[in-house]
Chain A
Amino acid sequence: MKHTLAVLVENSPGVLARVAGLFSRRGFNIESLTVGRTESNDVSRMTIVVEGDDRLIEQVSKQLHKLIDIIKISDISEDEYVDRDLVMIKVTADPSQRVEIMQMAGVFRARVVDLGRKTMTLECTGNEGKINAFEESLRPYGIKELVRTGKVAMLRGSKFSSTNGAHTADSKEG
């Protein structure tokens, strides 16, 4: 099963290397990893998607906890959450095909962000399933280039996973 971990880390140099290094040397596979700053300047948030059984995820969490720069880890896949992934796809598109592609993009609420002589670049945001479907629908036209951000995720409702306390079910103090 895929688990989505929200990991709050000190915004210090080397923290990404520490996390990535830990995954590789302990033999854990990262499905995707995104990182960016949070509401506090000195805290970054990683969203890490890991495939594995409960025992593996427990080890991943515990080993991550041991890193001094890691402030808090929440396995948010145990709760209701919203997740988003952004993709940009450059497809082969003769002028005759453009309208068709744009209609298709409309179904996915994707946007055209660039036009070339024989290509179109589209941007689409959504959860993993939607992004996969969008990619499949463009494949017949010929995908020349594709880039995805990887998943970012957040708990639904009033629950939250931040350094502001509150949701501490899986915090280090626990």
Chain B
Amino acid sequence: MEMTVAEALIRCLENEKVEVVFGYPGGAMLPVYDALYHSTKIKHVLVRHEQGAVHAADGYARVTKRVGVCMATSGPGATNLVTGIANAYMDSIPVVIFTGQVATALIGTDAFQEVDITGITMPITKHNYLVKDPHKFPAIVRNAFHIAATGRPGPVLIDIPRDIADAKIDFKYPKTVHLRGYKPTYRGHPNKIQEIARLIKESKRPLIYAGGGILSSNAEQELLQLAETISAPVTNTFMGLASFPGNHPLFLGMLGLHGTRYANLAVTECDLLIGIGARFDDRVTMNINAFAPNATVIHIDIDPAEIGKIVATHVPLVGDVKTILAALLPLLEPTDRSEWAARIADLKEQFPLTYIRDGRLKPQFVIEQLCAQTHGEALVVTDVGQHQMWVAQYYRFQRPGTLVSSGGLGTMGFGLPAAVGSQMGRPQQQTILVTGDGSFQMTMQELGTMMEQGLPIKIFILNNSVLGMVRQIQEFYYQARYMAVNFKFHPDFAALARAYSIPGYTVQTEEELQKVLPEVLATPGPALVNCLTPADENVTPMVMAGKGIHEAIEC
């Protein structure tokens, strides 16, 4: 069937069962937007800034486990996507990005709104394409969706010159993908799986260190079964949170820089560390020489390049986490490890996660209350900074995949647009955005998108009028020389919410919060709660730079 490439793009999206596209139009993308005008199957969400489009697609992908799609025009439209693309890349999120480009004849001439976006995004995409031959376009889109969603997922960008978008092709969507240089390994080596089963059997103090790979592989059930079968405690990386029930007796919470002391000490004491879908990130390991010093290390990951990158692994195993765990489980016998369990219980009792309640509204208290009132079952989206770490510590996620946050890149401003995408992906689930006064102001224009789409997101700003995480670092490492962290002016966030027709509240005591919270959570529709919290509250425990994770300090 003959049609333009722009029309073919819509047909490709329909073939990929895409329902929502987040985007922002512009000159070079007009043929595509004209084609969208005629589509009845694809909903386009107009954001307020292109960064919002890519974060929304990212959030949507995380909660739906499908490929998120966004589009923007050439030049500034494309460059505004860059942070969001890097964010999706660092967290291994499947997103397909379409950008407009100047006409083929103008490429390389510094034309109006021209930028080499494939060049710019080369290091932050899993792959990217500049379409030069219109007839190859359907195959490129097919490949892009395949690459984004399989193996270790990631973003793929397709740059479409304006004249290519208008070119006529005979449309046929390819049924198969042919990529001879891309064949991810899914099944783990059977001998290695046997070896792992043997090591688990011999181990007295096994510990599971589970990351985001559990979630991208949908292996939450297998993880739970593994932990319960072999009686091994589970610690999560930040990206791995909400892959294991937060109230489970075997759960240790997050490890690393701001991890629980008992998780970090258990890592130090374990004799077998079973790393699954995690990458030994520097925020997890801290001083690498002091990380799991007594342990035999098993590392299961779909990306061969992660294995042996940071730590020497005794048993490396490349493959899909879910497939591997399913093959491993029948080889294991239920084991009771009461001595190790007693030691873990002892650590939990000796070094609990605590904060000081002194009458002021503590941010940790806000998160604890949110968790209690939602029974740990809400979909929680966060921004980046102290509030993010408090969510990681104090929100006990009960359901798989209910935390949406920027882990690897640490993108302030991710929260609100990601919440928009998340809520659109799971319209029935209560969605809460926990943000900070710094992060929120980076992308708060997306309140417009949120209201336009009628999304009932509940926003909680932990507002301490300071860039808290930076302030904390300046306190510890720069002798409290606070530079460029105090906001001397803030808008009235509750009033700002009301300007967007969102009910706005301000609370600054525990009582006020407890009074407002049930009403806010029970009332349909959006709400914004501006929580005024102390500026000098630090995230603890904290492992100082250069120290091992067993040396965390509390204050």
Residues in chain A within 8 A of chain B (CB atoms): 9-10, 13-14, 17-18, 21-22, 25, 55, 58-59, 62-63, 65-72, 163, 172-173
Contacts and interface: CB of A to CB of B under 8 A. Distances in A.
Given A17-B119, A65-B305, A10 B130 contact: no
Given A10-B180, A69-B127, A172-B181, 17 more contacts: A13-B130, A14-B122, A17-B122, A18-B122, A55-B308, A58-B308, A59-B308, A66-B126, A66-B305, A67-B127, A68-B127, A68-B147, A68-B179, A68-B181, A68-B182, A172-B182, A173-B183
B179 to A, nearest CB: 6
A35 B183 CA distance: 24
A21 B123 contact: yes
Nearest to A63: B305
Most buried by A among B126, B180, B183: B180
Given A58-B308, A62-B305, A66-B305, A14 B127 contact: no
Nearest to B143: A68
Interface in B195-233: none
Contacts of B303: 66
A172 B183 contact: yes
Contact of A62 (B130, B132, B182, B304): B304
A14 B130 contact: yes
A13 B118 CA distance: 11
Contact of B132 (A13, A17, A163): A13
A16 to B, nearest CB: 11
B451 to A, nearest CB: 40
A170 B38 CA distance: 49
A154 B418 CA distance: 51
Contact of B181 (A22, A55, A71): A71
Contacts, number: 48
Interface of B: 118-119, 122-123, 126-127, 130, 132, 147, 179-183, 303-305, 308-309
Contacts of A65: 304-305
A72 B181 CA distance: 7
Contacts of A22: 123
Contacts of B308: 55, 58-59
19 contacts: A9-B181, A10-B181, A13-B132, A14-B130, A17-B122, A55-B308, A59-B305, A59-B309, A62-B304, A62-B305, A65-B305, A68-B126, A68-B181, A68-B182, A69-B181, A70-B181, A172-B181, A172-B182, A172-B183
B188 to A, nearest CB: 14
CB-based closest 4 A-B pairs: A62-B305, A68-B127, A71-B181, A68-B182
Nearest to B118: A14
Contacts of B119: 14, 17
A52 B333 CA distance: 44
Nearest to B151: A66
A140 B268 CA distance: 63
A68 B122 CA distance: 12
A25 B86 CA distance: 14
A25 B303 CA distance: 19
A163 B180 contact: yes
Contacts of B179: 68
Nearest to B304: A62
A163 to B, nearest CB: 7
B180 A71 contact: yes
Contacts of B122: 14, 17-18, 21
A122 B147 CA distance: 49
A63 B309 CA distance: 10
B181 A67 contact: yes
A21 B122 CA distance: 8
Contacts of A72: 181
A63 B180 CA distance: 17
Contacts of A14: 118-119, 122, 130
A59 B303 CA distance: 12
B133 to A, nearest CB: 11
A21 B121 CA distance: 11
Contacts of A71: 180-181
A21 B118 CA distance: 12
A22 to B, nearest CB: 8
Nearest to A174: B185
Contacts of B309: 59
A10 B129 CA distance: 13
A94 B126 CA distance: 57
B84 to A, nearest CB: 19
